[in-house]
Amino acid sequence: MLREMYYFKEDREGFSSNLKKLIKENGFTSNDVASNLGENYYEILKKWKTGERLPSLDDLSKLSKILNTTMEDLYLPNAQLRINDNEYTNLFVNSSNNKLDLLDKFYPSFHKDKFIDDWISIDEFNKQKDFKEEINYLLQKKLFSYLTEKEDEKLRFYFKIAISHRYYDEIGGARDLRVDYDSFWKSVDDDMKKRRGLSYKYKLTKNAIKEEFFEFKKKIEFAPDCHYLPQTIIIEDVLELLNDKESIKAYLNQYDELVINCMYSMKNNNEIVKEVLYELGAKRININIPDNISYVDEMLDEVRKLSYEDYLISIGGKK
């Protein structure tokens, strides 16, 4: 499965040590750095050097320029996720004209008679999992930490190219509603600050992070034309084409805990799929499920009506 959560935790001691090292390496004094930062920064810098406080994102940016380094090298905990390079993950870093072709391959319209053999393979599923894992990581890091410029560029590209379009019927017909990347994240950040405080980054407990990410995925899913890790292929139709346990496991490994639990809670799974879901650690969601539900997307719609606390209770967990 996709990793449930990454835990971004501040490291004041590590930042303090790194800051003092970089000041010395650049031949600066504290006065030099403070004066370059602006008025009234001397006392603030002292607190950064002792680990009493951490700088804001704006101050990190200023410091990195003064100290001839990057924000990532200066201080961004868990700044890099180690992903195996492949054609999908390289979508983020290459500016070739093949991006759209690869995305069409990754999110094709589903036609059983048009599926190509090399798409349905364990190797291909593993590559796609790496792609989805990086998106999963970047979304969490954007929400609970800070992205480097390169990481933000990656996530911005994903929003621009890979997010599904939605159309809404209005009095004059359907129209295309786009989600603006900057506006969307500003609204998310404003909401988090209002509920969790101005300094919520790095401050939330693991349980609070899980709760916030559960709610965040609802925002992604239901924002106009915006899908979290869009899946234009129907999961059940792909599973029909897979007849061995290893391939089924490789395919289902692309999904997060919530999707896996939804699948495990449905009544129309065959025995091999049930066995694989159990091995992946799936838990049954104990809620009243309408009899006409036959697809995972429909099950997800029911679960998204729950609060995080109610979802935990439904799978036998505790808040």
36: its two tokens: 């370059």
Please give the pLDDT value at position 225: 44
Please give the pLDDT value at position 117: 52
Q: Kindly report the pTM of this predicted structure.
A: 0.75
Nearest one of 190, 194, 192 to 204, comparing CA atoms: 192
Please give the pLDDT value at position 77: 57
Q: Where are the alpha helices (DSSP H) in the chain?
A: 12-25, 30-37, 42-50, 57-66, 71-75, 99-106, 122-144, 149-161, 181-196, 206-222, 235-241, 245-252, 257-264, 271-279, 296-303, 308-314
Beta carbons within 8 Å of 111's beta carbon, 6+ residues apart:
none
Please give the pLDDT value at position 92: 62
Residue-range domains of the chain with CATH:
12-75 (1.10.260.40), 89-222 (no CATH), 235-314 (no CATH)
Q: For each of the chain's 319 residues, which pLDDT tens digit applies?
A: 888 888 777 778 888 988 999 999 999 999 999 999 988 899 999 999 998 888 877 888 899 999 998 877 787 655 556 667 777 677 665 545 455 455 455 444 434 444 445 566 888 888 888 888 888 888 898 998 888 777 888 888 777 665 544 333 334 444 444 567 888 888 889 999 999 988 788 778 888 989 999 988 887 765 544 444 444 456 777 788 888 899 999 999 988 899 899 999 988 888 999 999 999 999 999 998 888 888 888 888 888 889 999 999 999 865 4
The 10 Å Cβ neighbour count of residue 143 is 20
2: its two tokens: 């996709």
